Amino acid sequence: MSIEKKILNQIESLPKGTLLFPADFSDLGSSEAVRISLFRLEKEDIIARIAQGIYVRPKESNLLGKLMPAAEEIAEAIAKRDCIRTVPSGSYALNALGLSTQVPMNIVFLTDGSPREIKLGKRKIKFKKTTPKNLMANGKISRLVIQALKEIGNGKLSVEEEKKIILLLKKEDENDLKNDIALAPVWIQKIMKKALNNGKN
């Protein structure tokens, strides 16, 4: 059986929407043989190339055609592959929490891995090196809140935004929230603590 056929069999055993990297098939042949096979499978529309060295077995929609994975899914797959930690930051964190309707063209993730930039058509995913403390938050909501509040800035949070953030944090696991509050700057801690004591200071 050819390397291409072996790769195809492996891809077809995966759910649609799965992200693929050449390293996933390193046990099937040389890096050059894998690269050529993936190139051919892309030409046959079996997989789609998202960025250099990143492919997907796309989901299909009758209305929209091929559905590409979200930037956060791509970042998570890269983090898993490279054994690094990431957290969304800046305007992307605001958007993910529903505090902003603007989808940023450049999405920034803080990481303990190597800084890099991945082009997704006109958009970019940037991995920005940060300190371990910024990546220690356990809660999916609270880690986004910390980054979103840093983006807004001390003293610039509106009453409505604060109410929305407190409601979101009430959905967080209480143990994770308590852990993550301790990691935040003092002014952010004061806001986050309101989710623990019914919105009171």
Tens digit of each residue's pLDDT (9 = 90 or more) over 47-60:
999 988 999 999 98
138-182 pLDDT, tens per residue?
999 999 999 999 999 999 999 999 999 999 999 999 999 999 999
| 175-190 mean pLDDT | 96
What CA dihedral angle connects 151, 156, 160 and 165, to 10 degrees?
40
pLDDT value at 201 more than 60: no
| Beta strand extents in 130-176 (DSSP E only) | none
Per-residue confidence at 102, pLDDT binned at 50, 70, 90? confident
Q: What three-state secondary structure class fits 137? A: coil
Task: Report the distance separating Cα 78 and Cα 20, nearest Å.
Answer: 10
Per-residue confidence at 105, pLDDT binned at 50, 70, 90? confident
**Residue whose entry in the numeric block shows the structure tokens 């603007």:** 102
**Residue whose entry in the numeric block shows the structure tokens 């929230």:** 177
65-90 pLDDT, tens per residue?
888 888 888 988 999 899 999 999 99
Burial code (b: 16+ CB inside 10 Å, e: under 16) for 107-136 equals bbbbbbeeeeebebeeebbbbeebeeebbe
The ranges of the chain annotated as CATH 1.10.10 are 3-66
Task: Report the distance separating Cα 9 and Cα 149, nearest Å.
Answer: 46
What number of helices (H) and strands (E) belong to the chain? Answer: 8, 9
| 193-200 mean pLDDT | 75
User: Could you say which of 1.10.10, 1.10.20, 1.10.1060, 2.60.40 is the CATH number of the domain covering 3-66?
Assistant: 1.10.10
pLDDT value at 25 more than 90: yes
What does the mean pLDDT of the chain come to? 92
Give the pLDDT score at 198: 54
Contacts 24+ apart (CB under 8 A), 87-90: 87/111, 87/134, 87/135, 87/137, 87/143, 87/144, 87/147, 88/144, 88/147, 89/128, 89/147, 89/150, 89/151, 90/147, 90/151
How distant is the alpha carbon of residue 176 from its chain centre?
19
